[in-house]
Amino acid sequence: MIYRVRHVTRYDYQTPVDLGAHLAHLRPRPLPYQKVLRAGVHAAPAVSWRRDGSDHFGNEVTWLFLDVAHAAFQVIADATVDVGFPAPPDAAATPPWETVARQAREAGAAAWQAAEFAFDSPRAPADAGARDYAAPCFAPGRTVLEALLDLNACIRRDFTFRAGVTTTSTPIAEVLRRREGVCQDFTHLMISALRGFGVPARYVSGYVRTRPSRGGAARLGADQSHAWVGAWLGPEHGWLDLDPTNGIVVRDEHVVLGWGRDFGDVTPLRGVILGGGEQTLSVEVELQEVAEQR
């Protein structure tokens, strides 16, 4: 599936900003199942200095620096991506979740890269409440993928998607109490639960198309930045991405920007400014199948 992604972020400042330094995770990550055909990041006003590179997790990043006064700052990311995630393995053929947790704990040659995602992070600690919520899914001896699919479906069933009631820093306990939030909240909740059982889980940042290609209900979290969970199934099966906001396994409706321990590692755009006063942020995202544009 070939998609065109367009992500526009704009800051309007109360008073001019004298200096601005920004870090962007806005270029899709090249992967065996995601071929980046074209990608660009453009800023207005034009930046004084720019560098493209990669971060600790291997994500594509762009550093932008402005040293001229500006009353507004806009970043436009535009990319064309060919996506085709592999089919998930047979759930019954995956190992028990306890085995996966033990392999991550022992690390070693086959698991060291997954092991760091089993530890707490600022926005997705191993919360006791999240573990208790997920406990019915993680019966002793149950295969890891059966448990993951169950938890993914439970979050979709038990929580209501509602924008504006949380922030990216809302604690897991508050999300559990409210039983509502957005994709970042549900992703942090699921990651927290999995870490509570020792199963490595990472926060995946990207986009989801508005409507499946075969029709059906619109996807929640579309037309904006989206987030979902990457869960480790052990060294034989590797990573599998699951979208708890929509209760689905990620296949051909998502585009990956990057991943980290939680939202803080892959914020689409963040920075430090000198001046500016109050600021207004607006974000527009379009994810369209290329064929739909013809």
Answer yes or no: do 228 and 101 share one domain: yes
Answer yes or no: do 244 and 155 share one domain: yes
Answer yes or no: do 102 and 209 share one domain: yes
Q: How far is CA 213 from CA 217, 254, 285, 288, in A?
A: 11, 12, 18, 11
Task: Give the residue from 220, 281, 264 showing the smallest Cα distance to 56.
Answer: 264
Mean pLDDT in each 10-residue stretch from start to end of the chain (294 residues)?
95 96 98 97 96 97 97 98 96 98 93 94 96 98 98 98 92 97 97 98 93 61 82 97 97 96 97 94 92 54
- Give me the pLDDT at residue 294, please: 41
Answer yes or no: do 35 and 162 share one domain: no
In a domain, 276, yes or no: yes
Answer yes or no: do 27 and 166 share one domain: no
- Give me the pLDDT at residue 210, please: 66
Q: For residue 62, what are the domain limits?
A: 2-83+267-293
In a domain, 259, yes or no: no
Task: Give the residue from 198, 184, 208 showing the smallest Cα distance to 289.
Answer: 208
Q: Please give the model's pTM, rounded to 2 decimal places.
A: 0.94
- Give me the pLDDT at residue 224, please: 74
- Structural domain count, the chain: 2
Amino acid at 274: L
- The backbone torsions φ and ψ at residue 189, rounded to the nearest 5 degrees and listed phi first, read -60, -50
For residues 226 and 152, give the distance between their C-alpha atoms in angstroms, rounded to a whole number. 16
Task: Give the residue from 202, 195, 209, 196 showing the smallest Cα distance to 228.
Answer: 202
Contact 48, 69 (CB under 8 A): no
Task: Give the residue from 121, 9, 16, 120 showing the smallest Cα distance to 74.
Answer: 9
